[in-house]
Structure 1
Amino acid sequence: MHGKAEQIGAHTTRPHRRDIDGLRALAILPVLLFHAHVPGFAGGYVGVDIFFVISGYLITGIIARDIDEGRFSLLRFYERRFRRIMPALALMILAVLGLSAWLYLPGDLEGVPKSALAATLFVSNLWFFTDTGYFAGGADVKPLLQTWSLAVEEQYYIGFPVLLMLLARFGTRVRAGVVAAIAVASLTLCILMQRDTTGFAFYLLPTRAWELLAGALLALGIIPAIRARWLREAVAWAGLLAIGSAVFLYDRNTLFPGVAALAPVLGAMALLHGAPGTIVGRILALPPLVGVGLISYSLYLWHWPLIVFTEYATDLPLSGGTQIAVLVASLAIAWLSWRFVEQPFRDSARMPPRTIFRFTGAAMALLCALSLALLAMGPWSSRFSPTVLAQIAGRNDISPDRKRCHDSYMRGAKPCILGAPVRPDAMLWGDSHGVELAHVLAQDARAQGQSLIERTTSSCPPVLGYEAKDARCATANRTAFEAIRADTGLRRIYLAAFWANGVFDDPAFVAKLDRTIAAIRTEGREVVLIGAVPPQPFDVPRHLAHLARAGRLNRAQGIARAQVEARIVRLRALFARWQAQSVTLIDPVARLCDARVCAIERDGQPLYFDSHHLSVAGARAVIDPPR
C-alpha cells in the first residue's frame, strides 16, 4: 500500500513519477476527510483500495524487474519492506499503547494491547475480523483499526514474490496469465460475498487480493501502452471521474467491497497507466499533492488514533474547531514522522541492512512484550475511583439471556421462553432494542406466574415487508408472524425497535408498521407498541465515567427532547389513531425525558449500556409506570 518503488534495487533506478505521489494524496485525503466526518466525503474509505492498486503496481514492478534481470533477493525485498513499514508503524503503536493506558476506561483498554499485538505481527485484519459483536467495542475505541490494510498487504507479500519467482521459468505470458487468473478468482469471490456481514469480504486477503493484483497486472504489461495523446487524456479523466464518483457518491450503506470496488480500482489503474504526459498527470504532480503523497504513509498511520482519542476524550464526534485542529495535527505529525522517522531509516548509508533487521526484531519484541504486559494487567481498574468504576459497570447491565436468546432465529435456535415455567401468553417481537425490555417484562411475568417468548433479531424491526441489505429480516419477520398466527395462546404482542434511528421515520416504513399492527390485530391479539428510545450522542456509561472522573457527574444529561421528537414525527402522528384502536403505547420518551432533555442515569445507574440500547435499569424505567 505504501511501497516506494523509485528505488529498484542495488544497481538501477527508474524515474520518479510525481503523479504517483499525487495519486497517493488522492487516496489518503478522502480517507482522512471521511474519518474526520467532513461532509461530502462519505465514500472516502475507497482511498484504501487506491493504495492497494498503487502498491501492487509499484512493488510488482520492482520484483518482476529484479527477477527478469536475475538479481532478485527475498532477503533484500523484505529488508526494503521493513525499512519502509516498520519504523513509523512501531512508533505509532508505542504511542497508542501509552495513550490508551492513560486514557482508556476498563472495558475499552483490554482490546488495545490485543490489537497492538496483532498489528505488530501483521495479522490485525484477522483480529478485527474476529473481534465483532455487541460487546467487542466499536471502531470508536479501536485506535489501531487502520492497520488492517497493512496486514492485508504484508500477508500478500509473503507469497506473491515467491509466486513470481516460480513463474519466471515459464515466460512473461504465462506469468501474466496466472496472475490474471488469480485476480479474477479473487474478484469473483469478492462479488459473491459482497453481501457478507461477517467482515470476511472487508478484512481478509482472499477478497482483497484482486485489488493489489490489478496494479500488479499493469506492472506486468498486460495492458499495452497508450500511444495516442487524446486517448491517454480520455483514460486519465475517466480514471479521475471514477475515483471521484466513488468518493462523493458512496456512503456507509454502499455494498462494499464487491462490484462497487471496481470504480476506485479501475480509476486508479487508469491514472497509473494513462496519466503521464496528460493534463491530469500534471495536476497530480502539483507540489501540494506531491507533498501530501510523500507523507501519506505516516498520515494514514497517525490520523486514525488522533481522531479516536480525541472523540473518546470529548465524548463527541469531530466537528467545528476540534475537527480542524485534528486535521492540522494529523498533517503536522505525519510530516514529523516522515521527516524524522521514515527518511532516516530509508537511507541505507545511515541504516545498513543489518541495522534494519536488528531494529525490526527489537521493535517487534518490545511491542509484543509491552502488549502482553498490558494484557496481563487486564482492565487495570486501580487507576480509577469506585465512582468512576460504578458508572462504567453500566455497560454490563444487560439481560443475562442476551447471548442465549438474541438472534435465535439467525442461529437456527428455538426462541427463548422467559418467565415462569408455563405456556407463554405473550411475545416480544423486535430488534436488539427489545432484549432488555423482554428481560424486564419476563421478570414481571414470572412474578405473576406467566411467561413470554422473546423473538429479537439484530437490526430487524418487527415490520412485515421490511427489507434490509440481505433477506434475513424479511424471513425472520415472516417466521415470527407465522408463529403468532399459529399459537392462539399468545394474547399480547409487544413490538420494540430502534424507531428513532433516523431512518425508520420514512413514510413507506411507517406505513408498513401500520399494516403490521393491523395484521396482528386481525388475528385477534393485543398489540403493545414500545415507542422510540431516545438515542444519545455518546456511549452513556463511558460518558458518565468521564464526568465522574472530572467530578462533574451531577451535570449528566442526555439528548434534547426536541431532537428525539424530530426523528419520530411520522411515527408520532399515528400514535393517537393506534391508541384509539386499543393499541397500548409505552412511550420511552415520555418516561425518560422532561420537557427539555432526556435522562441518561437514574439513582446512580446508567439507563443505557451503550449509546442507544437501554440497560436493564433503563428498561425497568420504561416498563414501570411513572411514580
Structure 2
Amino acid sequence: MKFRYDINALRALAVILVVFYHFNIPYFIGGYSGVDIFFVISGYLMSKIILKGFSTDTFSFIDFYFRRAKRIVPALVILVLFTVLIGNFFFFPTIESKTAEYGISSIFFISNIVYYYNSGYFDLSSKTNALLHTWSLSVEWQFYLIYPILLFVLKTIYHKNRMIFQCIIISLIIIGFSSMLYMSNKNPSFSFYSLTSRYWEMLIGCLIVLNEEYIEKNISIKIRKIISLICFVIIIYFVATKNDSLLWPGIYTLIPVICTALIIVSNVSISIFKLRLIQYMGKISYSLYLWHWVIFVLFSSIGFENLEYVPLILLLSLLMAHLSYSYIEKYDFKFNKSIIYLSISGILISTIFYFYPISKFVYGEKELKLADFAKDYKKHQMIKQFKTGECFLYSKSKYEDYKKNVCLEIDKKRKNVLLIGDSHAAHLSYSLNKYYKKNNINFLQATTSYCFPIINPRGREENVKLVNYIFSDFVPKNNKKIDLVIISANWKDMQGYTYYELKNKIGELIKYFEDKKLNYIFLGQTETYKFPFPEIIAKKQIFSFIKEENFISKNTLETRDFLLKTIPKDKYIDLYKIKSIKHLSKDKKTPYIFDDNHFTTFGTEQIVEFISSKYNIL
C-alpha cells in the first residue's frame, strides 16, 4: 500500500492527544478521543488490505494474522516485561501482582474484558494500572480476529453487488452505534471497554474504502484539501473545549470519527501533514502510545506527576518510543516462532511475578502490612461498616436485596434521620448510626453504589430503583416523620453529568426538600488520592520525599468548589482536607482511608466527631 502522509499525520495527532490528556496538560481534556482516531485508521487499513486481497484473489488468513501479530506483539511483550520487572521497585505486592495479571491479559488481548470485570466500585484506581491503555489494543485485536471472517462470509455479495454490501456495512454501523448509545447510559464501563460498542468506528473505515474512488473522481483536490484542514482543526478544537464529564463513547464520539473519516477519504497531503516532526510522531505513534502511560504511572507512584515533571516524563517517553520503534518495530521478525517464544516468555515471567512479586523483599514488613491494609479491611470490616447487601446496594446487588424493614423502619416515638447517597454516604453509616444511638435518635439508611442521590438519576437499573423509591414513595409517605435528611456522595465521579447538568439536578433536589419542608444537609466532597492511601503512607515512612498532597486528585478540589457555589452555605458541611483529622492511628496500623477515597471507621469516627461538634445534626 502506498505511503500516505495524511494517515501518518492522523496517527501523530491521535497519539499526541492521548499522551497530553494522560499527562493532564491543559486544553487536552478530550484527548482520549485520540483512541477513536486510531480505531478509524485501523478499520480503514484492514478493510483496504482484505478487500484488495479479495479482488486479486490473494488474501490469506494466516498471512493477515501473522502481519498483525508482527506489527503489534513484539513491542507489546517487551513493554509488558519491562513493566512487570520494574514495577517491583515502584509498587507494593498487591499492585505488582495485579500488574502481572494485567500483563498476561494484555498479551492474550483480553485486557479490555479483564479491566471491565475488575472495574468494581472499590477496586484499585486506574491510576495504579500501568497497562490500562492496552484495552484498546485488545479491542483492535478482537476486531482483527472477527472482521476478516465477516468479510469472507460477505465476499460473494461484495463481488456481485457493492450497493447491497455497502448497505450491510451501514446497517452494522447503525446497530453498533445504537448499541453504544444504549450501553453508555446503562453500563458506561461496559460500553467503554467492549468491542460491541466500538466496532462501528472501525467499520467506518470500510465505508471509506468503498467510497474513496468515487470521492477522488468527483471532488477536486482543492476542496478535499480544505475539508481535510477544516476537519483537522475541528478535532483539535473539540479536544480543547470538550467537557470531560460527557459520556464516552457517546453521541459526541461522532465528531472525531467523522472528521478522521473525511480526512482519510479526501486522500490529500497538505503541507502541515508533511512536517518532519508530525511524520516522525506518526512513525513512533504505536511505541509512544505503549510507553507513555507506563512511565507516567511509575512517576505517579512516587508523587511526581505535576506539570513541572511532565517535560521529563515526556522526554523519557519519547526516548523509549524511539528505541522501541527503531529496534523492535522495525526488526524483521520472520515466521520462525520468534513471536510465539517472545509471547510465552512474557506470559511465564508475568505469571512468576503474579505469585512471587519481588517487591515483597524491597519493602519492610511493617510497610508491607500497611500497604496491604485494604485487602483485609474489605474482607473483615467493610461489610459491617457499609451494611453491604442490607442497607447498601453494591454493584452486583439486586434491588430486592435491600432490606426496607431494617434500613427504613420509622420510629414514631423518636426523631428519625435519613442518610441517602452512594458509597460516600455508606462509609459514614456505621459511625453516624453509633452517634445517633447515643442520642436516642433513629437512624435510617438508603445507599447504593455509583448512583447519585438525585431525582431520576443515571446508573445501574437495580441501584436507580432504590433511589427512585426513596424520592417517589418513601419520603412522600413519611416526610412529616423525618427530622433530617443527610445527603452524601462522591460528586467528583460526575457519572456522565456535566457540571451544568449536575447543578440543575442538585437544584431540583433542594427544591424537592424545600417543597416538602424537610430539614436537610449536604456533607461535602472529601479528598481523593491518585493511589491507594495506605500505600502512600507506607512509602512515606520509607522515603522522605513522599508528600501526601502530591497524590491528591485535583478534581476533588474542583468538585468541592463547585458544590460550595451550588448548595446554600447553611446546608453544606465542608469536609475537604479537615486539619483536625489524623491520617494514621497511634499504633501506625490503621489509615483514615482504606483505598483511594473511602474512609475507614477510624476516619469516619473523626468526621462524625468534627461534624457534631460544629454543626446541628440533631
Aligned: 1:271 with 2:253: no
Matching of residues 188-227 of structure 1 within 5 Å: 188-221=178-211, 224-226=214-216, 227=219
1:107 match: secondary structure: helix
2:156 match: secondary structure: helix
Give the Å deviation of 1:437.
1.2
Matching of residues 300-449 of structure 1 within 5 Å: 300-314=289-303, 318-345=305-332, 351-353=333-335, 355=336, 358-377=337-356, 381=360, 383-395=362-374, 396=377, 399-401=382-384, 402=386, 403-404=388-389, 405-407=391-393, 411-413=398-400, 415-416=402-403, 425-444=416-435
TM normalised by structure 1 equals: 0.82
Give the Å deviation of 1:27.
1.1
TM normalised by structure 2 equals: 0.83
> C-alpha separation between the residues in 2 aligned to 1:513 and 1:187?
33
Report if the CA contact (8 A) 1:534-1:559 is conserved. Answer: yes
251-260 or 266-275: which moved more?
A: 251-260
108-117 or 406-415: which moved more?
A: 406-415
Give the Å deviation of 1:570.
4.2
Report if the CA contact (8 A) 1:435-1:456 is conserved. Answer: yes
Aligned: 1:119 with 2:106: yes
Q: In structure 2, what residue type is equivalent to 1:428? A: L
Report if the CA contact (8 A) 2:30-2:239 is conserved. Answer: yes
Report if the CA contact (8 A) 2:532-2:595 is conserved. Answer: yes
Name the structure 2 match of 1:284.
Answer: 273
Query: What do residues 589-609 of structure 1 show as CA deviations (whole Å, max 9, x unaligned)?
Result: 69x415xxx643342331122
Report if the CA contact (8 A) 1:42-1:247 is conserved. Answer: yes
- 1:250 to 1:449, Cα distance in 2 relative to 1, 3 A: same
Counterpart pick for 1:250 among 242, 247, 260: 242
> C-alpha separation between the residues in 2 aligned to 1:268 and 1:300?
18
> C-alpha separation between the residues in 1 aligned to 2:552 and 2:179?
43
Give the Å deviation of 1:135.
2.4
Counterpart pick for 2:282 among 279, 289, 293: 293
Give the Å deviation of 1:301.
0.7
- 1:429 to 1:123, Cα distance in 2 relative to 1, 3 A: same
- 1:91 to 1:121, Cα distance in 2 relative to 1, 3 A: same
Query: What do residues 418-470 of structure 1 show as CA deviations (whole Å, max 9, x unaligned)?
Result: 9999876543222221112101233456678876332113355545x485589
Give the Å deviation of 1:253.
1.2
Matching of residues 23-42 of structure 1 within 5 Å: 23-42=10-29
- 1:527 to 1:326, Cα distance in 2 relative to 1, 3 A: same
Aligned: 1:544 with 2:537: yes
- 1:426 to 1:399, Cα distance in 2 relative to 1, 3 A: farther
Report if the CA contact (8 A) 1:432-1:459 is conserved. Answer: yes
Counterpart pick for 2:470 among 480, 495, 515: 480
Query: What do residues 150-202 of structure 1 show as CA deviations (whole Å, max 9, x unaligned)?
Result: 11111111122223333333343154443333223222222333323342221
> C-alpha separation between the residues in 1 aligned to 2:545 and 2:155?
68
Name the structure 2 match of 1:12.
Answer: none
Report if the CA contact (8 A) 2:417-2:443 is conserved. Answer: yes
Q: Where does structure 2 lack aligned partners over 5 or more consecutive residues?
A: none
Report if the CA contact (8 A) 1:421-1:451 is conserved. Answer: no
Aligned: 1:17 with 2:4: yes
Query: What do residues 397-438 of structure 1 show as CA deviations (whole Å, max 9, x unaligned)?
Result: 753243424236983135457999987654322222111210
Q: In structure 2, what residue type is equivalent to 1:453? A: L
> C-alpha separation between the residues in 1 aligned to 2:500 and 2:181?
29
Give the Å deviation of 1:208.
0.9
Counterpart pick for 2:593 among 608, 611, 618: 608
2:301 match: secondary structure: helix
Higher RCO, 1 or 2 (CA under 8 Å, sep at least 6)?
A: 2
Aligned: 1:61 with 2:48: yes
Q: Where does structure 1 lack aligned partners over 5 or more consecutive residues?
A: 1-5, 7-14, 346-350, 579-584
Give the Å deviation of 1:557.
10
> C-alpha separation between the residues in 2 aligned to 1:532 and 1:359?
53
Give the Å deviation of 1:46.
0.9
> C-alpha separation between the residues in 2 aligned to 1:275 and 1:504?
40
2:215 match: secondary structure: coil
Counterpart pick for 1:145 among 121, 132, 148: 132
1:413 match: secondary structure: helix
> C-alpha separation between the residues in 2 aligned to 1:516 and 1:385?
54
Matching of residues 476-555 of structure 1 within 5 Å: 476-481=466-471, 482-487=473-478, 491-498=483-490, 512=508, 514-519=510-515, 522=517, 530-535=523-528, 539-550=532-543
Report if the CA contact (8 A) 2:407-2:446 is conserved. Answer: no
> C-alpha separation between the residues in 2 aligned to 1:420 and 1:87?
55
2:446 match: secondary structure: strand
Give the Å deviation of 1:312.
1.3
- 1:369 to 1:26, Cα distance in 2 relative to 1, 3 A: same
Structure that is richer in helix per residue: 2
489-498 or 267-276: which moved more?
A: 489-498
> C-alpha separation between the residues in 1 aligned to 2:545 and 2:214?
67
> C-alpha separation between the residues in 2 aligned to 1:499 and 1:72?
52
Name the structure 1 match of 2:607.
Answer: 622
Query: What do residues 61-120 of structure 1 show as CA deviations (whole Å, max 9, x unaligned)?
Result: 122222221222112112211211111111001011112222212432232122111111
Report if the CA contact (8 A) 1:436-1:614 is conserved. Answer: yes
Give the Å deviation of 1:31.
0.6
Name the structure 2 match of 1:10.
Answer: none
Q: In structure 1, what residue type is equivalent to 2:597? A: H
223-232 or 540-549: which moved more?
A: 223-232
1:453 match: secondary structure: strand
> C-alpha separation between the residues in 1 aligned to 2:551 and 2:281?
40
1:546 match: secondary structure: helix
2:541 match: secondary structure: helix
Q: In structure 2, what residue type is equivalent to 1:400? A: I
Name the structure 2 match of 1:348.
Answer: none
Aligned: 1:574 with 2:553: no
Report if the CA contact (8 A) 2:398-2:462 is conserved. Answer: no
Counterpart pick for 1:452 among 427, 439, 443: 443
- 1:74 to 1:421, Cα distance in 2 relative to 1, 3 A: closer
> C-alpha separation between the residues in 2 aligned to 1:420 and 1:229?
69
Give the Å deviation of 1:250.
2.1
Give the Å deviation of 1:587.
6.3
Report if the CA contact (8 A) 2:417-2:482 is conserved. Answer: yes
240-249 or 527-536: which moved more?
A: 527-536
Give the Å deviation of 1:476.
4.8
Report if the CA contact (8 A) 1:415-1:454 is conserved. Answer: no
- 1:552 to 1:254, Cα distance in 2 relative to 1, 3 A: closer
Q: Percent identity between the aligned chains?
A: 23
Name the structure 2 match of 1:11.
Answer: none
Report if the CA contact (8 A) 1:299-1:334 is conserved. Answer: yes
Name the structure 1 match of 2:222.
Answer: 230
> Number of residue pairs matched?
584
Name the structure 2 match of 1:92.
Answer: 79
- 1:418 to 1:530, Cα distance in 2 relative to 1, 3 A: farther
